[in-house]
């Protein structure tokens, strides 16, 4: 029982973070089409996310970019030894974004970034083999970030950044154990629901023109550690179908909880090269400090506010890197074509693979285009096929209500298809 609600904290992380071991990178259609590169690419207001230092280099005084994505993802699980299998019903995720910049002078600009790192749901069949770890989750989040961009050395060097307000919510359900039921045979389960979780962080970036011809650019962006703090009253845990017995691990009903967990810092460096007016090439390297994610810690509270249970559920993540490549070709004055690829390392180590976030190394293949309606308005489109490596993995740290450890293992296959559409406007 000590681990019964600890998985919720992981779900909260999914709800309020923009990056890490659980996400598909969806922060802009132009950038996604180029392999999710953008730290050293100056093309539109998507810079508000990738590198706010570049906003001052946009030619127009006002720049807007808005769009969204349809995410179709699935996960399959199989344990051939015991004849077990399951397939998720992931639904359609719809993350969106809105970026804007306004140039106050030749050397200073302001910006705003609003985006949803997660907007999807995952559902396994009821009472599947891993239902004691997860049945279903629904995640929503919004990031709001005011920004500045300042050109310190004309045509050469600029900086930018600003604070981050993260707003998240989550709904999660799982069974309490592999076999606990009430007198009618209904599986004992818990549903956790939390909303309005507010956390703060910050980001900073720099952009350097490496030559006088504006061909080579070097970009850098940093996003800070964000500490997730779930306080009493932020959410509610509801236990159902628990047998009415003094031996039961918890009674039916509603309970508060508190939790604390660090979200790791990220560093991204990028290089772009424009050899002529037709071609643009970009490379980004991202490094996430996931080693800060050692365990999920939670206090499960009695009605009087005292601690009923303490949970320390190890995750033991490792630092992870992502390598991104992209290219753009100007087919005509009306159309730009883009393509890209990225390789994303998993931070999950052996023995810590949990089915609520079946995350392993992945390869992303991207493409897209921009159609210029006129000198001010353009349509941006993107496509992503994300293929996760098939993996034989286990989670070895689930503890049953009787205190026994119950490892859960199997073979996981995961993939995602994403289609995106957006608009860019400049004035």
Please list the alpha-helical segments (H only) found in 71-154.
none
Asked if the model's pLDDT at residue 247 lies above 80, the reply is: no
At residue 172, the pLDDT reads 80
Q: Which of 17-21, 212-216, 370-374, 383-387 has the lowest mean pLDDT?
A: 17-21
Asked if the model's pLDDT at residue 380 lies above 90, the reply is: yes
At residue 402, the pLDDT reads 66
In this structure, what are the phi and psi dihedrals at residue 144, rounded to the nearest 5 degrees? -125, 125
Two tokens at 339?
Answer: 């393509």
Cα(117)–Cα(19) distance, integer angstroms: 8
pLDDT band at 314 (very low <50, low <70, confident <90, very high): confident
User: Which of 286-290, 314-318, 418-422 reaches the highest mean pLDDT?
Assistant: 418-422
Short-list 141, 98, 91, CA closest to 116: 141
The region, left, alpha or beta by phi > 0 then psi within -120 to 50, assigned to residue 410 is left
- The sign of the CA dihedral 90, 24, 48, 336 is negative
Per residue in 126-165, pLDDT (tens digit) is: 788 888 888 887 767 788 999 999 999 999 999 999 999 9
Per residue in 208-246, pLDDT (tens digit) is: 999 988 899 999 999 998 877 777 777 788 889 989 887
Asked if the model's pLDDT at residue 21 lies above 50, the reply is: no
Tell me if 256 sits within 8 A of 227, measured CB to CB.
no
3 state DSSP class of 40: coil
Burial class (CB within 10 angstroms; exposed 0-12, middle 13-18, buried 19+) of 102: middle
pLDDT band at 311 (very low <50, low <70, confident <90, very high): low
At residue 99, the pLDDT reads 98
Asked if the model's pLDDT at residue 11 lies above 60, the reply is: no
Q: Which of 155-169, 234-248, 323-337, 364-378 has the lowest mean pLDDT?
A: 234-248
Cα(177)–Cα(181) distance, integer angstroms: 9
At residue 100, the pLDDT reads 98
Across residues 346-368, what is the average pLDDT? Answer: 84
Short-list 47, 133, 48, 119, CA closest to 86: 133
Asked if the model's pLDDT at residue 10 lies above 70, the reply is: no
At residue 39, the pLDDT reads 97
3-state helix, strand, coil in the chain (%, to 5): 5, 55, 40
CATH number assigned to the domain with residue range 7-426, chosen from the 4 options 1.10.760.10, 2.60.40.10, 2.40.50.840, 2.40.160.60? 2.40.160.60
Q: Higher pLDDT residue, 263 or 349?
A: 349
pLDDT band at 71 (very low <50, low <70, confident <90, very high): confident
Asked if the model's pLDDT at residue 62 lies above 90, the reply is: yes
Two tokens at 199?
Answer: 């956390």
User: Which of 42-51, 135-144, 174-183 reaches the highest mean pLDDT?
Assistant: 42-51
Short-list 93, 100, 97, CA closest to 115: 97
Whole-model pTM over 0.85: yes
pLDDT band at 292 (very low <50, low <70, confident <90, very high): confident
Buried b (16+ CB within 10 A) or exposed e, 103-114: beeeeebbbbbb
Helix (H) or strand (E) holding 12: helix 7-16
Burial class (CB within 10 angstroms; exposed 0-12, middle 13-18, buried 19+) of 198: exposed
């Amino acid at each position: 029982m000590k681990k019964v609600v600890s998985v919720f904290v992981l779900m909260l992380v999914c709800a309020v973070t923009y990056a890490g071991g659980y996400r598909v990178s969806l922060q802009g259609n132009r950038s996604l089409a180029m392999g999710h590169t953008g730290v050293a690419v100056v093309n539109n207001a998507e810079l508000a996310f990738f590198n706010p230092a570049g906003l001052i280099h946009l030619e127009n005084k006002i720049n807007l970019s808005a769009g969204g994505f349809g995410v179709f993802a699935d996960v399959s699980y199989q344990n051939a030894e015991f004849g077990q299998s399951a397939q998720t019903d992931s639904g359609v995720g719809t993350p969106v974004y809105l970026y804007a910049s306004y140039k106050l002078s030749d050397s200073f600009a302001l910006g705003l970034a609003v985006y949803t790192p997660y907007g999807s749901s995952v559902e396994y069949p009821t009472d599947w083999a891993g239902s004691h770890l997860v049945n279903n989750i629904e995640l929503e989040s919004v990031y709001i970030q005011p920004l500045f961009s300042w050109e310190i050395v004309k045509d050469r060097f600029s900086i930018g950044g600003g604070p981050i307000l993260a707003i998240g919510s989550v709904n999660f359900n799982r069974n309490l154990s592999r076999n606990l039921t009430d007198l009618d045979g209904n599986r004992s389960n818990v549903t956790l629901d939390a909303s309005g979780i507010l956390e703060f962080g910050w980001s900073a970036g720099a952009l350097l023109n490496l030559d006088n011809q504006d061909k080579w650019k070097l970009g850098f962006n940093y996003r800070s550690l964000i500490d997730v703090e779930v306080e009493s009253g932020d959410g509610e845990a509801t236990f159902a179908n628990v047998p009415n017995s003094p031996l039961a691990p918890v009674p039916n009903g509603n309970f508060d909880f508190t939790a604390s967990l660090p979200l790791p810092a990220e560093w991204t460096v990028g290089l772009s090269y424009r050899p002529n007016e037709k071609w643009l090439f970009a490379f980004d390297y991202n490094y996430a400090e996931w080693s800060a994610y050692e365990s999920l810690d939670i206090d499960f509270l009695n009605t009087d506010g005292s601690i009923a249970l303490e949970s320390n559920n190890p995750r033991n993540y490792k630092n992870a890197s992502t390598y991104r490549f992209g290219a753009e070709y100007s087919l005509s004055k009306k159309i730009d074509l883009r393509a890209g690829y990225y390789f994303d390392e998993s931070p999950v180590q052996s023995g810590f693979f949990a089915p609520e976030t079946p995350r392993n190394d992945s390869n992303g293949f991207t493409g897209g285009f921009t159609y210029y309606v006129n000198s001010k308005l353009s349509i941006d489109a993107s496509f992503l096929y994300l293929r996760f490596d098939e993996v034989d993995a286990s989670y070895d740290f689930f503890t049953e209500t009787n205190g026994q450890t119950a490892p859960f293992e199997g073979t996981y296959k995961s993939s995602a298809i994403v289609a995106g559409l957006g608009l860019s406007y400049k004035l």
